[in-house]
């Protein structure tokens, strides 16, 4: 079982262990656990060992060490890793890519060792990691339950202790949902904060890239490595400071509004999630913050989200080598999205700006918004079995009812673990900040973590 990012990097830098040893520990953990959990799509055993040996040689030469030196990392299937097929969770591609995507390049430049790639539903279309091609990924807390998605393989790899870091993406909750279901900290950064190169965007304005980790500090360390846009990125975030520095300082007295009202109509939160929000609100009062219940007055996001959902899937599907190999549900979704022309996309992006302005009005009254992360408990594996796109969308609504709006609005939002419920599965709350507010989220989440620590690895039910 691997240690945290911070502890692993510190131990390697101090000579207490080696990059090769940490990599071997990660590979052993994968070999022991992944047969049951199905988190990894490919394990790069030989490449990872060679990369770890190169890290150790750098250290022996006295080279400067990066903040992730010797730390094993897993990468979601939608991100390019040199020599691997970027599958997007399906069978549509068959040719390995020649170069790392920019985020993976930055991880390696900081000293990380890439040990493999992780499962996702095809094109990240659904918040459950289930695939006709590759089966279901299982929650390490209870393998009969889903870990969520679409970064489900990444979440399982981290929560089970197979790796300290997993990279994911979030186009409608896909970092926060699996973080919530697997007991992890997952920050969806501000739109444009992390480059999507070599692609100009990830699901148009909805998608962002970021890590899933077991601690707030670990997330901050990784974000300080990967954050930053490039000239080819369609969106750019504003300037912020070091998130590691933010994790190590108090946030000051904040105005925190809480609400259990979903942003999606027709969804009711599980009573345990309501209780988690209320308990967190009481704890925040004890910590000295000004905490009040608010009505966020969520705007209708339909005209912004739905066209970009279809456009995101169609854009990625148009780029695969073998369209006929896509799953039946994906092909149906592709056909259903045929109405999304370039003009429709531009109107959806204009609607995105209006939704963002309305959603951000809540921050005229508060500094941070506290909500549930998801509405429901982790469903049993097979939640998408036998349903088409419409049925899948309906079954997905409880997972994204609190999350997807903030993809449309673009705001940073984080899933923060809040212990374990009576069913033996993790609890989570969501913290949302104003535009470019990652620093306050990290500081507040670190303060919560210190006041009420959460389990750092999964413990199976029963």
Active site residues: 76, 150, 174
> Burial of 361 by CB count in 10 Å (0-12 exposed, 13-18 middle, 19+ buried)?
exposed
457/340 Cα distance (integer angstroms): 42
Q: Are 68 and 9 within 8 A, CB to CB?
A: yes
Q: Which of 178, 149, 237 is nearest to 415 (CA)?
A: 178
Angle at 75 between CA 180 and CA 116, to 5 degrees: 120
Largest CA distance in the chain: 61
DSSP string for 69-123: TT-EEEEETTS--TTS---TTSSS--SPPSS--HHHHHHHHTT-EEEEEE--SGG
DSSP string for 341-401: -HHHHHHHHHHHHHHHHHHGGGGGT-SEEEEES-SSPPPBTTTTTT--HHHHHHHHHHHHT
Q: Are 305 and 270 within 8 A, CB to CB?
A: no
For the chain, the straight-line distance linking the first and the last C-alpha, in angstroms and rounded, comes to: 20
């Amino acid at each position: 079982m691997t240690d945290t990012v911070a502890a692993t990097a510190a131990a390697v830098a101090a000579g207490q262990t080696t990059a090769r040893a940490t990599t071997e520990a990660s590979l052993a953990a994968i070999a022991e656990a992944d047969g049951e959990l199905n988190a990894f799509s490919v394990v790069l055993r030989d490449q990872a060992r060679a990369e770890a040996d190169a890290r150790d040689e750098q250290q022996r030469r006295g080279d400067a060490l990066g903040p992730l030196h010797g730390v094993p990392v897993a990468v979601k299937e939608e991100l390019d890793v040199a020599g691997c097929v970027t599958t997007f969770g399906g069978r549509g591609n068959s040719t390995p890519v020649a170069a790392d995507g920019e985020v993976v390049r930055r991880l390696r430049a900081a000293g990380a060792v890439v040990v493999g790639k992780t499962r996702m539903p095809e094109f990240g279309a659904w918040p459950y990691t289930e695939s006709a091609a590759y089966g279901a990924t299982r929650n390490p807390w209870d393998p009969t339950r889903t870990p969520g998605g679409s970064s489900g393989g990444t979440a399982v790899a981290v929560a089970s202790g197979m790796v300290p870091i997993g990279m994911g993406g979030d186009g409608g909750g896909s970092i926060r949902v699996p973080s919530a279901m697997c007991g992890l900290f997952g920050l969806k950064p501000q739109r444009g904060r992390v480059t999507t190169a070599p692609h100009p965007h990830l699901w148009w304005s909805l998608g962002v890239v970021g890590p899933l980790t077991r601690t707030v500090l670990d997330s901050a360390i990784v974000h300080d490595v990967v954050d930053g846009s490039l000239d080819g990125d369609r969106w750019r975030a504003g300037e912020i400071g070091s998130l590691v520095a933010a994790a190590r300082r108090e946030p000051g007295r904040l105005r925190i509004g809480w609400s259990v009202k979903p942003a999606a109509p027709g969804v009711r939160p599980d009573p345990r999630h309501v209780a988690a929000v209320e308990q967190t609100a009481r704890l925040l009062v004890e910590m000295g913050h000004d905490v009040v219940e608010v009505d966020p007055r969520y705007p209708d996001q339909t005209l912004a989200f739905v066209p970009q959902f279809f456009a995101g899937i169609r854009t990625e599907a148009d780029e695969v080598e073998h369209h006929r190999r896509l799953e039946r549900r994906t092909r149906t979704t592709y056909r259903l999205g045929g109405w999304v022309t370039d003009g429709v996309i531009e109107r959806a992006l204009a609607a995105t700006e209006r939704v963002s302005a309305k959603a951000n009005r809540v921050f005229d009254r508060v500094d941070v918004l506290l909500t549930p992360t998801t509405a429901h408990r982790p469903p049993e594996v097979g939640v998408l079995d036998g349903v088409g796109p419409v049925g899948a969308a309906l079954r997905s609504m409880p997972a994204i009812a609190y999350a997807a709006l903030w993809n449309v609005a673009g705001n940073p939002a984080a899933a923060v673990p809040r212990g374990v419920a009576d069913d033996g599965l993790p609890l989570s709350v969501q913290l949302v900040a104003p535009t470019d507010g990652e620093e306050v989220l990290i500081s507040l989440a670190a303060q919560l973590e210190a006041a009420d620590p959460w389990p750092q690895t999964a413990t199976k039910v029963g």
